[in-house]
């Protein structure tokens, strides 16, 4: 079972928290399109003005409210990194590492002069593979260096005993990210484009007969696609939990040479390894046994070269951009070099950069207000649990116990990550430094094996605009950067903040009770705490929600995948209903007067819709529908709201309106 980190957003965008600065309107009336009735298309009514003001930029496949925040933050980060270049840094300090990473990322002249030479030792290592034992030796090294051909391993808390870290192994190895790109004939054009990309970068790397190598690599990926579980199957957390000893794995899947693999990874024999997809590994073992060595080696070679393309010269970068960004997502032009450069230290040294930003931009006042909001929403969720007509009292009691046990993380970690052993050496190539950093992260993760779980650890940086629920620690986390408009506005009325950050908070809380999170108890252990009757009632309701989204056509002939997005859709609906209750509770019977002609209830729903304002390419719609567990922004608004009575009341939605759904067809889960 892959580590289940359930997030609010479809992308992770790093942004600053900003000082007080200019006041931001609670509801910007110019974001609306009042030529459209709220009963006809509420998403367009609430965000149509924003869409007109913010046309899709050529460097984006999707431009959303998050990207507006990210644009501003990228400028601030870049200014910070540029100003640091003149610092007299101490060798080995985080400042030295940040400055040198930024300089190397900006230095295209050096990378263009080096060409593919930094990659040559890694190519030679793969080409030195002479048999299938040495092939798996090479796979272990490639895994340590950050790529995941054939399968992947990582250390995380044991889902059945969350006090201890264990080793997990999962299916992996598809360059395009999802098996349907290989199996569905409708994607033949993309598949051909991917094959041509592989030939291009292999040729740039100086690999002889690059076309044949690309063909054979794609043949192996096709075979991997056929045996891979679907994205929906991977959401079944119980089915993905299959403990085996490493010796049992050696017996069951001998072609993996797993005991030897663990030694090469610097890990000894294990009494317990969580195998995610047993049928995949059985078929992979068969594949490794029957497939000619040359094809397997060429697949591994293509994975290494493809993975390196973002850290080599401009020709490699453009080859990667042309396929993965332009062809797959519809992006028209690359991001400027400075944007790509500033993202490197921000990701590799994320908490070090985060500490600088927290020191500069985060307000204790905002953290305190956020804590009060969390408490109010936690109380409202308890009220919703008590009021459920489909859940037994016994299961309700367990649900209340879990709710009371939530750990809440706001702003930034109490303990910052130690990067002292991570070496950034400007005398080495940019690519070599990237490999060394990935190797450091791999070993840092593996070093946790068998040790107690550190429940204080943060799984996002403070400067990330997102939020998450982690079921194995039963925690909700809200990084500092999400506490800014349109998510949180210290100058806004309560209705707007409850409709925005309030929904974010209750969305993450609801994840503790969605189709995945519900399997974990108050301590984060995957144990059954529902009665069979309650499970059946829950399943009947979620089946209705799945069907509602399945019926939505996102492109001609392409429908949304309600099963893939079920967890997020449950959390969106629960988030709205619970935050609305918390808002009404906060009024204590003293209903605020309308502002700008909109009641508090209307402002609540307008604030929610604003979070999902975006423009998007058709290519990105198609890509996200395959890969993303989040519904598209317009569906997170329109489809979700069509189940909520108080929305209909707020805007006078009536029978005959497109937004109306008959009461008999509505579904309420939390």
For residue 175, the domain's CATH number is 1.10.1380.10
The domain that holds 564 is classified in CATH as: 3.40.390.10
- 469 domain residue, yes or no: yes
Domain stop point among 270, 292, 314: 292
User: Do 365 and 470 belong together in one domain?
Assistant: yes
User: Do 404 and 261 belong together in one domain?
Assistant: no
Domain total in the chain: 2
- 619 domain residue, yes or no: yes
How many angstroms separate the CA atoms of 127 and 121, rounded?
Answer: 10
How many angstroms separate the CA atoms of 8 and 468, rounded?
Answer: 6
- 11 domain residue, yes or no: no
User: Do 497 and 580 belong together in one domain?
Assistant: yes
- 118 domain residue, yes or no: no
User: Do 551 and 474 belong together in one domain?
Assistant: yes
How many angstroms separate the CA atoms of 171 and 623, rounded?
Answer: 20
For residue 278, the enclosing domain spans: 147-292
User: Do 367 and 281 belong together in one domain?
Assistant: no
What pTM value is reported for the model?
A: 0.93
Task: Please check whether residue 59 is in contact with residue 332, taking contact to mean a CB–CB distance below 8 angstroms.
Answer: yes
| pLDDT score, position 6 | 64
- Encoded tokens for 655: 């029978």
- 60 domain residue, yes or no: yes
Domain stop point among 265, 292, 319: 292
User: Do 277 and 368 belong together in one domain?
Assistant: no
User: Do 487 and 593 belong together in one domain?
Assistant: yes
Place of tokens 């794609």: 218
User: Do 283 and 206 belong together in one domain?
Assistant: yes
User: Do 482 and 367 belong together in one domain?
Assistant: yes
In sign, the C-alpha dihedral spanning 566, 614, 27, 46 is negative
Domain stop point among 266, 292, 318: 292
- 536 domain residue, yes or no: yes
User: CB atoms < 10 A from the CB of 600, how many?
Assistant: 22
Cis ω for the linkage preceding 265 (within 30 of 0): no
29 Cβ neighbours under 8 A, 6+ residues apart: 49, 596
- 443 domain residue, yes or no: no
Helix (H, G, I), strand (E, B) or coil at 64: strand
User: Do 369 and 274 belong together in one domain?
Assistant: no
How many angstroms separate the CA atoms of 472 and 510, rounded?
Answer: 15
Determine if residue 532 is left, alpha or beta; phi over 0 gives left, psi from -120 to 50 gives alpha, anything else beta. alpha
Q: If the chain, 670 residues long, is cut into consecutive pieces of 10 residues, what is the mean pLDDT of each piece? A: 54 37 87 97 98 95 88 83 90 96 97 98 97 98 97 97 97 96 95 98 98 98 98 96 98 97 96 98 98 98 98 98 97 95 95 91 86 95 97 97 96 95 98 98 97 95 92 95 90 96 96 97 95 97 98 96 97 98 96 96 98 96 96 98 98 97 96
How many angstroms separate the CA atoms of 619 and 444, rounded?
Answer: 37
- Kind and range of the H or E run holding 299: helix 293-308
- 332 domain residue, yes or no: no
Task: Please check whether residue 437 is in contact with residue 348, taking contact to mean a CB–CB distance below 8 angstroms.
Answer: yes
User: Do 61 and 157 belong together in one domain?
Assistant: no
User: Do 162 and 62 belong together in one domain?
Assistant: no
């Amino acid at each position: 079972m892959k580590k289940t980190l359930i997030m609010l957003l479809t992308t992770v965008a790093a942004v600053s928290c900003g000082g007080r600065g200019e006041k931001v309107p609670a509801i910007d009336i110019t974001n609306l399109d009042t030529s459209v009735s709220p009963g006809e298309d509420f998403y367009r009514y609430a965000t149509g003005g924003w869409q007109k003001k913010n046309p899709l930029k050529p460097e984006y496949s999707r431009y959303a409210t998050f990207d507006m925040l990210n644009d501003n933050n990228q400028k601030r980060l870049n200014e910070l990194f540029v100003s640091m270049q003149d610092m007299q840094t101490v060798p080995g300090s985080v400042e030295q590492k940040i400055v040198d990473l930024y300089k190397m990322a900006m230095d295209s002249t050096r990378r263009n002069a080096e060409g593919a030479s930094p990659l040559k030792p890694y190519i030679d290592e793969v080409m030195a593979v002479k048999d299938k034992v040495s092939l798996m030796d090479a796979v272990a090294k490639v895994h340590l260096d950050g790529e995941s051909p054939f399968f992947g391993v990582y250390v995380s808390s044991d889902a059945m005993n969350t006090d201890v870290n264990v080793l997990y192994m999962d299916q992996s190895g598809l360059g395009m990210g999802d098996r349907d790109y290989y199996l569905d004939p409708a994607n033949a054009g993309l598949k051909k484009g991917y094959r041509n990309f592989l030939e291009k970068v292999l040729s740039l790397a100086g690999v002889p007969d690059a076309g044949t190598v690309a063909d054979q690599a794609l043949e192996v990926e096709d075979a991997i696609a056929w045996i891979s579980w679907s994205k929906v199957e991977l959401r079944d957390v119980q089915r993905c939990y299959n403990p085996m000893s490493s010796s049992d794995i050696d017996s069951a899947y001998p072609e993996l040479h797993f005991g030897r693999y663990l030694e090469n990874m610097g890990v000894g024999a294990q009494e317990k390894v969580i195998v995610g997809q047993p049928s995949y590994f059985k078929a992979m073992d068969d594949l490794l046994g029957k497939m000619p060595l040359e094809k397997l080696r060429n697949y591994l070679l293509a994975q290494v070269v493809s993975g390196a393309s973002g850290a080599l010269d401009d020709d490699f970068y453009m080859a990667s951009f042309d396929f993965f960004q332009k062809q797959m997502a519809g992006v028209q032009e690359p991001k400027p070099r400075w944007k790509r450069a500033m993202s490197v230290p921000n990701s590799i040294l994320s908490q070090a950069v985060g500490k600088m930003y927290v020191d500069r931009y985060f307000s204790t006042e905002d953290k305190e207000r956020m804590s009060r909001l969390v408490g109010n929403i936690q109380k409202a969720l308890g009220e919703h649990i008590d009021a459920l007509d489909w859940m037994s009292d016994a299961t309700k009691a367990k649900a209340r116990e879990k709710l009371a046990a939530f750990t809440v993380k706001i702003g930034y970690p109490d303990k910052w990550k130690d990067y002292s052993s991570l070496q950034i050496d400007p005398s080495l190539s940019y690519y070599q430094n990237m490999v060394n950093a990935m190797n450091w992260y791999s070993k840092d993760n593996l070093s946790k094996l068998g040790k107690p779980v550190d429940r204080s650890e943060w799984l996002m940086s403070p400067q990330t605009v997102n939020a998450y629920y982690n079921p194995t620690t039963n925690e909700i986390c809200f990084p500092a950067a999400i506490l800014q408009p349109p998510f949180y506005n210290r100058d806004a009325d309560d209705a707007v903040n409850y409709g925005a950050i309030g929904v974010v908070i209750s969305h993450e809380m609801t994840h503790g009770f969605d189709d995945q999170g519900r399997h974990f108890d108050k301590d984060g252990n995957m144990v059954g705490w529902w009665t069979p009757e309650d499970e059946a009632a829950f399943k009947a309701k979620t089946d209705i929600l799945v069907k509602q989204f399945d019926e939505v056509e996102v492109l001609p002939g392409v429908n949304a995948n309600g099963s893939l997005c079920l967890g997020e859709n449950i959390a969106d609906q629960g988030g709205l209903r619970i935050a609305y209750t918390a808002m009404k509770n906060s009024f204590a019977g003293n209903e605020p007067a309308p502002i700008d002609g909109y009641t508090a209830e209307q402002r609540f729903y307008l604030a929610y819709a604003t979070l999902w304002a975006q423009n998007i390419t058709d290519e990105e719609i198609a890509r996200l529908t395959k890969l993303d567990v989040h519904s598209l922004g317009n569906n997170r608004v329109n489809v979700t709201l069509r189940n909520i009575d108080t929305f209909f009341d707020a805007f006078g939605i009536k029978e005959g309106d497109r937004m109306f759904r008959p009461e008999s067809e509505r579904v309420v889960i939390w």
